[in-house]
Amino acid sequence: MIDSPIFINDDVSFVSLLDMNFTKVLKSEFVLNWTAHSCSSCKRSGGRCRSVIMMNSFAFAWTGLIRRPAMVVTYSAEGLDVRTKLIVGFCAGAGGVLITSLFFYCWLRHRRGKGFFKSSFITGKSYLDRSLASDYEKGDSFACVHVFTYKELEEATNNFDSNRELGDGGFGTVYYGKLRDSRTVAVKRLYENNYRRVEQFMNEVDILTRLHHPNLVSLYGCTSRHSRELLLVYEYVENGTVADHLHGEYAKPGALPWHIRLDIAIETASALKYLHASDIIHRDVKTNNILLDNYFHVKVGDFGLSRLFPTDVTHVSTAPQGTPGYVDPEYHQCYQLTSKSDVFSFGVVLTELISSKPAVDIMRHRHEINLWNMEINKIQNRALHELVDPSLEFETDEKVRKRITLVAEVAFQCLQNEKDMRPTMAQVFEALVGIQNEEYKKEKGEEIEMEAAGDEGGLLKSIAVPHSPDSVMIKWVSNGSSSTTTTTPSF
């Protein structure tokens, strides 16, 4: 029951209104005003109010209160023809469907993107981070990379058989697989509980599709980022990692002679030099991320943490970065990782190649749990022989001893606490090549003059390092440049 006034025209009397049936009342011009709660009351009364637009009928009950306003807004049941009503009804229905679809799309996009955007901007708004967010919204098209289906890779790995596991890292498990075209591959399955997995997935795809170097692992493809699982497909590098051969399952005394270790150091330095020239910081350089083929050639992998060089010097990242034992000590002071952070990590790798010891070992003395601390202590105490792997013939082969000593000096400079005291990867690469070739001079007339207190000389002459006992003085004279004096330890 609607308890509201009815406004009628002046020419309709109350008596004549009572004599009319509902059809005549509807054909007369009138307007009925009511409020929402009145309408709700009517509905609760059992449906005594109803409207059937297509039949030109409208039924209602009223209490008899009639008003005659000065200006009346009228309604005529005959004002709309059937065609107009159909158009209005169709437009209303289409509008409702459109609004519902738009709402559902926004909800779905928010639900899918919530985890990604929550993590991808934690480490700052560099160009690479912004591009990841943009790529995420574009769908499943990746430039120049094949997109595998989950079923293909499930089949290739025999349903991710645990017997096919190649490694288990910080971001995912790697499986051996064989594709339908007979290619052998390594399939990385990112951990479900890793809240940054979409960011790391996109990092690797973005970097490996635009960088090409003989000592960087090749990416064959990946699954869609909207797949039930995030999977990356790499070339299969069959001979394990450097860590495996130094202190892992493949480690055997004498199995990795010094000349191979020096080759590994040079090829790794070459890959990092290339990354830095491309404005990429790896940020997780370690022996577990340096793969070896059957000829012991290097393939650097795992770019989940990699970034472009930060353009904002004020940018900091407090999220955990890198691997314990390899992380730049300056990071814990300023929360910034730079190209010199990769240099520090590479210094740890060099020390592992010299010693065959892991980067972290809690069974060692408390001051030597971190291998880089042990390296510095041994060098400053003129006890390098205590660090070197005995199987390398450091004590018996003078040529090997000289080269190991020089590489230890390079590592010593890479491991300086202050990043400004460390060399660049380009300088490290040139120094290692010079050690291998025994050519301690550059092209076009550059000369190096050594005054050694022992049998060995220093290297990386353009980088100043702290004084140490019996240090070696090196004078580097270059065409068009002034002399630079550098001090490095002697052993």
For residue 305, give the nearest of 291, 289, 329, 325 by alpha carbon: 289
Q: What is the DSSP string of 190-230?
A: E-TT-TTHHHHHHHHHHHHTT---TTBPPEEEEE-TTSSS-
Q: What is the pLDDT of residues 231-284, one digit of tens each?
A: 999 999 999 999 999 999 999 998 999 999 999 999 999 999 999 999 999 999
Place of tokens 């790896």: 282
Residue 283's SS3 state is: coil
Apex CA 371: angle with CA 238 and CA 414, to 5°? 85
Q: What is the pLDDT of residues 55-64, one digit of tens each?
A: 444 445 444 4
Residue 369 and residue 362 in contact, taking contact as beta carbons nearer than 8 Å: yes
What is the token pair recorded at 435?
A: 């050690």
What is the predicted pLDDT for the residue at 27?
64
Apex CA 24: angle with CA 22 and CA 27, to 5°? 110
Q: CB atoms < 10 A from the CB of 399, how many?
A: 10
Confidence of residue 139 (pLDDT cuts 50, 70, 90): very low
Higher pLDDT, 136 or 432: 432
What is the predicted pLDDT for the residue at 486?
40
Weakest mean pLDDT among 11-20, 176-185, 237-246, 427-436:
11-20
Weakest mean pLDDT among 3-12, 151-160, 318-327, 341-350:
3-12
List residues with catalytic annotation. Answer: 284
Confidence of residue 214 (pLDDT cuts 50, 70, 90): very high
Sign of the Cα pseudo-torsion (137, 141, 146, 150, in order): positive
Torsion angles phi and psi, residue 41, rounded to 5: -65, -40
What is the predicted pLDDT for the residue at 417?
93
Instruction: List the domains of the chain with CATH numbers.
Output: 6-82 (no CATH), 129-235 (3.30.200.20), 242-441 (1.10.510.10)
Distance (Å, rounded) from C-alpha 231 to C-alpha 225?
9
24 is in an annotated binding site: no
Distance (Å, rounded) from C-alpha 268 to C-alpha 390?
24
Place of tokens 């400053």: 380
Q: What is the pLDDT of residues 399-440, one digit of tens each?
A: 999 999 999 999 999 999 999 999 999 999 999 999 999 744
The neighbouring-strand residues paired with 188 are: 174, 232
Q: Which of the listed ranges 141-150, 173-182, 330-339 does the model predict with the highest average pLDDT?
A: 173-182
What is the predicted pLDDT for the residue at 463?
43
SS (H, E, C) 98-110: HHHHHHHHHHHHH
Residue 151 has pLDDT above 50, yes or no: yes
Average pLDDT estimate for 107-116: 56
Higher pLDDT, 272 or 118: 272
Place of tokens 């390398």: 392
Q: CB atoms < 10 A from the CB of 201, how many?
A: 24
pTM of the model: 0.64
CA contacts within 13 A on the Cβ side of 195: 10
Q: Give the end-to-end CA distance of the chain in Å, rounded to a whole number.
A: 105
What is the predicted pLDDT for the residue at 200?
79
Q: Which amino acid is at 265?
A: A
What is the predicted pLDDT for the residue at 440?
45
Confidence of residue 158 (pLDDT cuts 50, 70, 90): very high
